[in-house]
Chain A
Amino acid sequence: MASLDDVTVGSTVLVRDVDGADPVSIRLLEMGLTPGIEVRLVGRAPFGDPLELELRGYRLSIRRQEAARVVVGDR
């Protein structure tokens, strides 16, 4: 399964799941990265980390470490 960290810049994917049940994964869900939602990888910071995402009409930045927990699939 691909994670959000593997996505190429500019493409839009569908969130399938968020791994784990710890505070990090809860916070990702609370920020709106819930199963079924569309996410676009807007870009990466100069050193490749963190990532800039667009979802639910807003921009969110998360680190690669967190992005690796978000399981994604094609639209």
Chain B
Amino acid sequence: MARSAGEVRRLTVALLGNPNVGKSTVFTALAGIPTRIGNYPGVTVEEKVGRFSHRGVTIDLVDLPGTYSLLPQSPDERVVVEVLAGRMADVPRPDCVVVVVDATNLSRNLYLATQALELGLPVIVALTLADVADRRGLSIDTLELGRRLGCPVVRVAAPTGEGIDALRERILTASDSPAPAPIALVRPHDSSRAPAASEAIARYASIERLLDGLVQAAPDRRRLTEDRIDAVLTHRVWGTLVFAAVMLAMFSSIFWLATPLMDLVSAGMDAVSAFVGDRLPAGPIRSLLVDGILAGVGGTVVFVPQIAMLFLFVAILEGCGYLSRAAFLMDRLLVGAGLSGKSFIPLLSSFACAIPGIMAARTIENRRDRLLTILVAPLMSCSARLPVYLLLCGAFVPDRPVGVSWLRLPAVVLAGLYALGVVVAAIVATILSRTVFRGPPQPFVMELPGWRWPQPLVVLERVREAAWSFLTNAGTLIVAISIVLWALISYPRNDAAIDADVAALRASLATQVAAADTDSDREEFAAELAALDTPEGLDAARRGAAQRQSFLGRAGRLVEPIVRPLGWDWRIGCAAIASFPAREVVLGTLGVIYNLGDVDPGEREGASALERRLKAARWDGTTRPVFTLPVALSIMVFFALCAQCASTLVVIGRETASWVWPVVTFTYMTVLAWLGAFAVYQFGTALGW
């Protein structure tokens, strides 16, 4: 190729390989942190490009999804074929293909490599895990392998950097070389098979011939050790026990270990809010900055510790080879619901928070299984639902034994709410997999890779990438939604109407004090009346009045006919709508709407103040209490099943690269939540609970 002097030379190199062969290790060793991560246009297949330069040549390294064959069966594999053919928009046709080949599993890996030799592009084979192969007593004649394949073969050990420079050098020379000749396939005599089947058989026959005499195998002690590890870890009893222990450790770390970090993030954000709040005069600007923007930023950043913690676990388990064993152990449990073993970790993590759970669904290669897992993950009762459950169970579910003295009713209701999510998820997944997602059976073939030590750099990169993609892709949208909701809660604002509302409240309390039947009632109303004369009490009452007049308050009145069959008054409807950014907001909103101001329901005092206020709530103009046992149950069932979490919906949108799925999720979950709440309220009322 003729080039004018001074022109910067650029090459595009594709990185191809089977899953689990250390492809990402090679990518990191060659190019470091990727310069571009996103989805290929129109599909949910991840596009990852890194850039490095060698001898003045700029090289764009395209990391292709792990694939077993260039005869594509999945969207991921189709993308690989399209990129290699130069038919993918915004990726130029590669100048050269680097095929990553696992030295411990040569014949199956060469299947893809020999297909790559037929592309008409220069090919380099990067032989990974050769050190492991050495230790297993497999010695491979690299030079001879290259001669027989007709392309350069470079031994690389990414952790030590061995062979990485040689690989860079080969990329430059190979890109200027002609494409190698394809390996002639040994065609079978019988032609009764389908062309694709006979091609597969012929290819393996050619590979066996090609490898003949190339690999020297010595008796292998390591292999025996690996067998022993496997014998325990995939054993029916021991394997299950180890699995339970690993999952417990993982779950408690995202549930409990991440909590101090999340508290730290919250405290930091509170400090920033206070700092900004103190320096700005009270008014719409301060309110927008503190209650809108900063609250949204804080609400985004707070998820990062859980995401990082979960991905740390997943990356380590993936790196050492346990992730596929976990999927192997759990597959049967999930396959009945139309899911697969790989759905287990994402679903389990969703009990802590659906956001890292949905992101962990990236480990599911099968697109259909991944989508199904994402759609049902928000049904798992996450930690944000727990304060709602605890407050309402504590306040309205009678503390009486169920059968035995130590088993109390509130605990049974709590367990029931967790079970409800799981059962509904199983039913939804079963129905979806037999209707919307019905299709030709997809083969479940999963490699159980050899045991190895996870690479720290690859693990860290996975954690960094997950946290970063959440902050940049989802975070911006979450902040935007937070600002919109702030506006809906803050406007319209009419000070005269607020004063009138507070005056009306004062008058009504005065009448109630006079008309109270019991001394305790009288004291309570008197205390409430007295609170209106304190600055805090007056402020809380004014905030409550402002919220009742806002768009949100109006929306609450608008939806009252819809929530009435659930036993809710318009205030609960309001709080449910306001909890769209995050479920736990419902308690804070109830606090404001019932004139308590900002209570922290997480704190004992805040919770008991809110409890008292909720118990005292009456239907407008009557003495009938709003919160009864059936109403409390109906609220809890609603929150167990609803999709009131904007961040989850945003993450679903980002992970599926489509706005259809968050809309579908929100719709189906809200309908189910309404039906569940309706059933439990009507049933409970009919039984006279």
Contacts and interface: CB of A to CB of B under 8 A. Distances in A.
B178 interface: no
Nearest to A59: B448
A24 B106 CA distance: 23
Interface in A36-74: 37, 42-50, 52, 56-63, 65-66
A34 B328 contact: no
A24 to B, nearest CB: 4
B236 interface: yes
Interface residues of B, number: 44
A18 B332 contact: no
Contact of B333 (A35, A37, A47): A47
B322 interface: no
A45 B200 contact: no
A23 B73 contact: yes
B105 A58 contact: yes
B75 to A, nearest CB: 13
Contact of B445 (A37, A42, A62): A62
Contacts of A18: 197
Contacts of B442: 23-24
Interface in B189-206: 193-194, 196-197, 200-201, 204-205
A19 B329 CA distance: 27
Nearest to B111: A30
A21 interface: yes
Nearest to A21: B194
Nearest to A64: B332
A21 B196 contact: yes
B665 interface: no
Contacts of A23: 73, 440, 442-443
B465 interface: no
Nearest to B239: A46
B183 to A, nearest CB: 16
Contacts of B204: 29, 32, 34, 37
A32 B448 contact: no
B197 A46 contact: no
**A22, A34, A45, most chain B CB atoms within 10 A:** A45
A27 B331 CA distance: 19
Interface string B423-448: 00000000000000000111111111
B333 A56 contact: no
B644 interface: no
Interface residues of A, number: 36
B68 A46 contact: no
A3 B444 CA distance: 17
B476 interface: no
B329 A27 contact: no
Contact of B201 (A22, A34, A42): A34
Nearest to A44: B236
A21 B239 contact: no
B557 to A, nearest CB: 52
A50 B440 contact: no
A27 to B, nearest CB: 4
B135 interface: no
13 contacts: A29-B204, A30-B200, A42-B230, A45-B331, A46-B239, A49-B331, A52-B448, A58-B450, A59-B449, A60-B446, A62-B444, A62-B445, A66-B443
Interface of B: 68-69, 71, 73, 104-108, 111, 193-194, 196-197, 200-201, 204-205, 230-231, 234-236, 239-240, 324, 328-329, 331-333, 335, 341, 440-450
Interface of A: 18, 21-32, 34-35, 37, 42-50, 52, 56-63, 65-66
The 3 tightest CB contacts between A and B, nearest first, are: A21-B194, A47-B332, A59-B448
